[in-house]
Structure 1
Amino acid sequence: MKLSSILLALATFAVAGLSFNPPALAQGRLLEVYVAYLGPDDHYNSRGTRLSEPWQVVRQDRANFHRFGIRDRGDEDDRFFASAANRARMERMILNGYIEGDAGWRIVNDNCWVRVEIYSDSVHIKVK
């Protein structure tokens, strides 16, 4: 086998391997981790409209926690989303990160515990 064929095969393998783990490419520097319970109050915005996207529910949880003082037992504090400007960035950060497995469905449709990892350019969410 030629050296160029071996290098091409290795490059293809490496690219294919990276494509199965996109969060590793987009995570940036880990800033903070918190755990929160997404309860009934987190599934509705301040106008009473039911939220339909996972990032909306997670953002409402942080607005409830930091702005409105509505906290579920066990909700942990975070410094990053204490800022309204950072909460406004959340959708883009989640799109740059990931929501594990069926967590998106569970966040929208259930009350559940989440573990949120905040990176410099993304957010990763796991349902506990």
Structure 2
Amino acid sequence: MKDLIQRYFDAFNAHNTEDMLACLAPDVEHHVNEGTIRVGRTAFAEFCAHMSRCYDETLTDMVIFVNEDGTRAAAEYTVNGTYLETDGTLPPAHGQTYKLPAGSFFSIADGQITRVTTYYSLSGWTAQVS
């Protein structure tokens, strides 16, 4: 299952939402950092479109962990980004760059990701772009 998680993140870094979606179960639960839970590939694709409009991000220093039976995984990484367009009530965007540690947690069934939960410090990000 480590290969599945690696494919997901390779697609993220390639800005290839279609390849990310191919890793996900149709009813995937996407637990967004400090946001609501989105369910399904369509909601995930809409989130990705919004994020791509507002942020340009690449993940580095990736370490992936998988439990023995392959039903859970986690990844720790560094987010390297540029804030492209003001996102809602967040600080105004004017091309600020940022770098912060983050992590994702996954549930896996039948060779697909059924849950993605992502964590990072929003206050840390805000301090960097303000």
Q: Which has the larger radius of gyration?
A: 1
Between the two structures, name the one with larger relative contact order (CA 8 Å, sep ≥ 6): 1
More helix as a share of residues: 1
Same fold (TM over 0.5): no
* Structure (1 or 2) with the greater strand fraction: 2
